[in-house]
Amino acid sequence: MKLKELLKGLNYTISNGSEDIDISKVEYDSRKILKGDLFFCIEGFKVDGHRFASTAVKNGAAAIVCMQDIEENLPCTIIKVKDSRKAMSLISANYYENPSDKFKLIGITGTNGKTTSTFMMKSILEEASKKVGLIGTIANYIGDKKMHSERTTPESLELQKLFYEMNSEGVDYCIMEVSSHSLSLDRVYGVEFSEAIFTNLTQDHLDFHKTFENYYEAKLKLFSSAKNSIINIDDQYGKRVYDDVKNNKITYSIEKAADIKAENINIHSRGASFNLIYKGDSIKVNLNLPGRYNIYNALGSAAACLNEGVSLEHIKAGLEKVTVPGRCEIVTKGYDLGFDVIVDYAHTPDGLENILKTAREFTEGRLISVFGCGGDRDITKRPIMGKIGSDLSDIAVVTSDNPRTEEPTAIIEDIVKGIEKDNFVVVLNRAEAIKKAMCLAEKNDVIVIAGKGHEDYQILKDKVIHFDEREIIRDIIKELF
C-alpha cells in the first residue's frame, strides 16, 4: 500500500524522504521489521520506541512515524506527528482497510461487569441470528472460534487486525470490553461505536491513572466516539456520565426511573429472575447467574440490543442461555460435599463486596472467603479489600493472587492492615489456602474463591506458572473427600 494512503486522516509533516513509496506492513516492534515496513516509535512506560528507530532502519524500515526528533540522516521517510499512539491507531485502520466500518461495534466500559456483559450480548445477538465477534478478558471470539487474549483490549495494531479477520469471516457485530488503560493509551482512537455502555465506577487501576478523576476521564472517552450511550443510572457516577455525554442517552436501573428497568426481582443460589420493563412491555427473565449486579449487567446488555432492534423474545432467550467462565461459577456441581465452592474473578473492592453479598443471600451456613491482591498494582485497595473480605465473611482466608515482582508476604501485610475482626487466617500458598478453606467447610457452607476466576495461571516474579483453581479443587476433592 502507498504510504500516502496509510496517512489519510492524519496530521503530519514529512521531515525526510517521500510519502510516495510502497509500504509492506506496519509494526511497533523493531524486531519484527522487514524490508519495506513502516515503524512506529511509541513512547512506553519503560522503553521509548524512538531509541529503536535506527535498528528498525537497519532491519529494512522504509518509513518511521515519530514524535521526537531523530537522526535526520536515516535513509528512510520520517513522518513527524504530535501523538504516535493516535497515529498508529489511524494508520493501522487504514492499513487494514478500516474494517470496523463494515460491521457494528458495541463497547462496554466500567470497573466491573464488562466481561459478563459481553457474553450476555453475544448470546442475545446470536439468538437474533447475527454472527458475533467478541474481544475481552477471557478470550477473543469470532463466532464459535476462540482465540487467546493477551490483554482486555488489544493494542491498536492488533485490534485492527482482529477487526479485519472478523470482517473477513462475515461478522455482523463486534462486542468488546474497552478498558480504561486502552482508552488512556488511544488503542481505540478513531474507532466509532454504535453503542457504548457504562456499567459502574469504583476504585481500581490507580497505580496507572494516579487519581480517580483521571480514571473517570479515561472511561468517559468511550462515549465521545459512540452514537448511543447506555448508562447505569443507579451507579453513583452514572448521573455524572449522563450529564457529561452529549450523544443519544439510554438509562437502565433497578432503583430509579429509567428507560429500561428490572422489577419483581428474585435472587437464589443458582441464579436470579426478574421482569424486564421496556416502553410499557414486560418480559420475565430467568438468569443462570446469581446476584443483583448480574441483573444490572443483563439490563445494560438488553438496552444495547434493544437499541439495535433486537426483540424482547430474543433478549430473554439469549440471557437465559448465557454462562460466563469464572464469574460466580459454582465448581462443585455434581459433587456431594455438603457445601459449595464458587470461583469468581472479583479483584477490586467493589467486585469482592458484590460477590460476597451475593453469596450471603443464598448461604444457609457459613460464608468462607479466599482472596488476595495482585502485586505491582494499586496498593491502596489492599486494606480496603481486607476489611471487606473479613467483614462480609464468617471466615476469611487471606492468600496470594498474582504477586508479580512483589513479595507475597508484603502484599498480605497490606491486606491485613485493613482487617478489624479476628475471623481470618493467612495461608501464603494459594493452593494450600483453598485446601484450608475446604477443610474448614461444613454442611451448608459456601466458599468463595475470589480474584482469579477464569485465569489458569499465576505470575510469580518473572515466571508464569500453570494454576487452574478448578483443577486444584478437583484434586483436593479426590484427596480429602
Residue 323 among known ligand-binding residues: no
Q: Is 275 left (phi over 0), alpha (psi -120 to 50) or beta?
A: beta
d(C-alpha 214, C-alpha 217), whole Å: 5
Cell numbers found for residue 423: 475471623
116 is in an annotated binding site: yes
Query: Known binder of ligand: residue 325?
Result: no
Tell whether 455 is in a known binding site.
yes
Over its C-alpha atoms, the chain yields an Rg (Å, rounded) of: 24
Does 114 belong to an annotated binding site? yes
43 near 33, Cβ under 8 Å?
no
468 by Cβ neighbours in 10 Å (0-12 / 13-18 / 19+) ranks as middle
Strands 173-177 and 104-109 turn out to be parallel
CA 476/CA 270 separation, integer angstroms = 23
Nine-digit cell string for 170: 462475515
Grouping H, G, I as helix, E, B as strand and the rest as coil, residue 51 is helix
d(CA 436, CA 370): 9
Asked if residue 111 belongs to a known ligand binding site, the reply is yes
Determine if residue 27 is labeled as part of a ligand binding site. no
What is the amino acid identity at position 234? D
- Report whether 179 belongs to an annotated binding site: yes
Q: Does 451 carry a binding-site annotation?
A: yes
Is there a binding annotation on residue 377? Answer: yes
Strands 395-398 and 38-40: unpaired
Question: Per the annotation, does 318 bind a ligand?
Answer: no
Residue 110 assigned as binding residue: yes
Give me the helices (H) in 251-311, please: 292-307
CA 42/CA 53 separation, integer angstroms = 10
Sign of the Cα pseudo-torsion (441, 436, 439, 447, in order): positive
Report CA-CA distances (Å) from 412 to 43, 243, 336, 396, 406: 34, 40, 33, 13, 11
Q: Annotated binding residue at 211?
A: no
Provide the strand spans (E) within 149-225: 173-177, 193-198
Cβ atoms within 10 Å, residue 46: 4
Residue 115 assigned ligand-binding role = yes
152 is known to lie in a ligand binding site: yes
The C-alpha atoms of residue 363 and residue 443 are separated, in whole angstroms, by 11
Q: Is 351 annotated as a binding residue?
A: no
Residue matched to cell numbers 470497573: 111
What CA–CA distance (Å, rounded) separates 11 from 82? Answer: 8
Report the binding-site residues. Answer: 30, 110-116, 152-153, 179, 187, 377, 401-404, 451, 455
What residues are designated binding site for ATP? 110-116
> Annotated binding site for meso-2,6-diaminopimelate, which residues?
377, 401-404, 451, 455
